[in-house]
Structure 1
Amino acid sequence: MPGTTIPPVPHYVPAPPTTEELEWADLPIIDLSKASTPEGREALAPQVRDAMRTYGFMYVVNHGLNQAQNERIFDIADVPFTQVADDEKKKFSYDIKATGLYKGYKLRQYWHIDNGVRDQIEHYNMHRGILQQDHPQALKPFMPEIRAFAEHNHYNILHPILRLLARGMELPEETFVDFHGYDHKGEGWIRFMKYYPRTNEDEEKTRNVWLKGHKDFGTVTILWSQPVAALQIMSPDGKWRWVKHIDNALVINAGEAMEFLSGGFYKGTIHRVRQPPADQQGYPRLGVFYFALADDEVKLAPMLHSPVLQREGVERRWEDDAQAPLMEEWRKGRTSSYGTAQLKKRDDVVEEEVINGIVVKHFN
């Protein structure tokens, strides 16, 4: 992480944690420091397996960064939103639909939420290589720190989790790691993301939903916990429950690509973002993410040589594994379509679209 000489940055002060009584999701907490030894991985693997099978979400603690380093990253994360003029933001926004790529800014009001209401979400996306793309002037002094942060997420958090997921399927430890090369052809990115408060009218039209229920389309998502309560997951019993903030913890979830590779053994869990509780309304919500995707050429077909799948069977979202998309095809299709496609309503809750021949559901 940062060296002894670091550029100054305004300190970001988040909202105080909510004091409201909410129905929290009871997610497992994984101590990642134990993954450094074979004995530790053996003990952790069934915990991670069960978490990703039951919830598709878990907390991770002892991930290698301390609270001060955590706060420094959030300070930097606020720079592209508060230190960059709107005209410069537009110069670093790209045609998401045409390219199928998150790069630079996604500005507000790009996605349709519901009933004519568009999003109030702004994010800045950086390919995991960081230095392979140009950045706004205000962010450039922080590129070495962001690059180190991306590498830490990839090698010290993602890879240990992938090893545990492989163990859970009784596969060689490096099975999923080998699909996630830092310098290989493919995506995977750091995202700084900021939600802004909305009008009462927009809240009413969208039933307080800021981002529809969905599954992430990559393999593993790493969310750095922050105090504004807005993230909800659909629990196994079908109820929406809130994800509680834990200081300097990570919230980890599996995505569709991992669901495909694992033959449905690991679940890409449905989650959404909604208006925060009353005592946090009016505050922005700043997020820091690392989105992991398999290398572009990886075919997202089940690992049929897994002894677990041979015993328990395979769940697919296509008829024949020859139909399984490559990671590149899946990420481009999902990125291009999200928030812009005309969805087909199935009922008052579920809307659908078809991407690469696979039905994708959104939950409103």
Structure 2
Amino acid sequence: MPSLTVPHIPHYEPAPATNEALDYADLAIIDLSNFVTPEGRAQLVLQLREAMTSKGFFYVVGHGYSKEQMERMFDIADVPFSQVSDEEKEKYVAQTKQTGSYQGYKLRQYWHIDGGVRDQVENYNIHRDISRRAHPEALRPLLPEIRQLAHHSHMNVLSPILRLMALGLELPEDTLLNIHRWETDSETYSKSRYLPRLVRYMKYHPRSPEEEEKTKNVWLKGHTDIGSISILYSQPVAALQILARDGTWKWIKHIDNAIVVNAGDAMDFLSGGFYRATIHRVVQPPPDQRQYTRLGIFYFCMPDDDVKLAPLVASPLLQRVGIKRRFEKDEDAPLVAEWRKSRTSAYGQSVLSKSKEKGVEEEVIAGVVVKHYN
């Protein structure tokens, strides 16, 4: 009988929740435990469609992880930052600009934020196929648990959400799932083609008062994600904000043992603008949390690399409400591989141009105007 013991690692103590009165976004809470019944599924389709077309962000509960399991996940998430030396981190830096891949470390001060200030964020990124590259020594005993996190996020969170989104477009419920595969039928295909499924651990460090002043307290400019679905395991340090439809920034509130979900550009393209990618940013936490680091766990997913990012025109709903095309002709839409590599290599490194919109900078990537909000 296999051992049930897991490697011992230091416990990560999260920050206490803020007591500040913040202007929080009123987001829907999607309970995936209701997915198992036809009645519950039908209700979730309507609830998710309303959440995606009104706010673009929502919470997920009933995802199958206990509070204790979530605590263990955050203990693991801190290991690549607190248990790996700076010298060893350098050995596992991602070749992001060269290859358009995030696999490995993104070290602090890689991204330019504003006013000559660079970021104070560390990332460690792991492809769902953990064998694709080597990892720091401290992480190696934890790789089975990290793979399990990726598998759970894909099968028990992403998959039902994609089914609900397809049903919301009045398409067969496996339409989106078929282009967001966990595995492929062909082993040769899976090794030769990249399936963009990524676990990211992310640690924000406090900044100096001078840096806060130069950036107007913005840690990451307003942006949309590049993929189809972003999954964020909720943590207590308030810093994430979304741009509401009335033009104001609303805070995302922490809910214990919940997940925050949003769509990215790839889903926006596929849904003809119906599931719009919502602009969001990261700012300095409120005063009672500013001495703490902010540790995040993400699962990012894009369609398979060979998928063309053109609208799903077979959708009866889109035929009724209209399709917002980013390209004049569907054949001009980029493949996921082109979009993924171009956006990834450019982020935080490219020179942005001033937009006609106030407080907006922009660049053109794969024929798409990509905007950054500050």
TM-score, length-scaled by structure 1: 0.98
Alignment of 1:253-272 (within 5 A): 253-272=262-281
Deviations 1:266-323 (A, max 9, x none): 0100000000000000110000000011000011100001000110100122222111
1:360 to 2:370 alignment: yes
CA contact (8 A) 1:225 1:246 kept: yes
Report if aligned partners of 1:181, 1:295 keep a CA contact under 8 Å in 2: yes
The amino acid of 2:161's aligned partner reads: I
Alignment of 1:65-80 (within 5 A): 65-80=65-80
Residue in 2 that maps onto 1:22? 22
> What one-letter code is carried by the residue in structure 1 that aligns with 2:150?
A
Cα offset, 1:244, TM superposition: 0.2
Q: Which moved more, 1:306-315 or 1:33-42?
A: 33-42
Output one character per residue of 1:76-119: Cα deviation in whole Å (capped at 9) or x when no partner.
00000000011110000022111000011000000000010000
Structure 2 counterparts to residues 138-217 of structure 1, below 5 A: 138-184=138-184, 185=193, 186-217=195-226
Q: Distance in 2 between matches of 1:37 and 1:339?
A: 44
1:231 aligns with 2:251: no
Write the distance in 2 (CA, Å) between the matches of 1:222 and 1:341: 26
Question: 2:119 matched to which residue of 1?
Answer: 119
Residue of structure 1 in register with 2:350 after alignment: 341
Aligned-residue RMSD, C-alpha: 1.1
Residue correspondence of structure 1 range 81-96 to structure 2 within 5 A: 81-96=81-96
- Which amino acid is 1:224 matched to? Y
Secondary structure of the residue aligned to 2:267 is helix
- 2:340 pairs, out of 331, 343, 359, with 331
Q: Distance in 2 between matches of 1:189 and 1:37?
A: 30
Q: Which amino acid aligns with 1:136?
A: P
After superposition, give the CA deviation of every residue in 1:157-185 in whole Å (9 maximum; x if it has no partner). Answer: 10000000001000000000000111343
CA distance in 1, matches of 2:139, 2:145: 10
Instruction: Write out aligned runs for 1:93-104 (5 A).
Output: 93-104=93-104
What amino acid does structure 1 have at the position aligned with 2:260? V
Amino acid at match of 1:107: L
Aligned length: 363
What SS does the corresponding residue of 1:178 show, helix, strand or coil?
Answer: helix
Matched position secondary structure for 1:183: coil
| Match of residue 273 from structure 1 | 282
Q: CA shift at 1:3, angstroms?
A: 6.6
Contact 1:131 1:147 in 2 (8 A): no
* Aligned-partner Cα distance in 2 for 1:118–1:190: 24
Q: Identify the residue that residue 302 of structure 1 maps to in structure 2.
A: 311
The alpha-carbon distance between structure 1 residues 96 and 349, as it changes in their structure 2 partners (threshold 3 A), is: same
Matched, 1:110 2:110: yes
Identity %: 61
1:348 is displaced (CA, Å) by: 4.2
Question: Which stretches in structure 1 are left out of the alignment for 5+ residues?
Answer: none
Runs of 4+ off more than 4 Å:
none
Which position in structure 2 is the counterpart of 1:286?
295
Question: 3-state DSSP class of the match of 1:268?
Answer: coil
Instruction: Supply the distance in 1 between the matched residues of 2:156 and 2:132 (Cα, whole angstroms).
Output: 22
Residues 232 and 240, structure 1, Cα contact 8 Å, conserved in 2: yes
**Equivalent residue number for residue 131 of structure 1:** 131
CA distance in 1, matches of 2:54, 2:209: 36
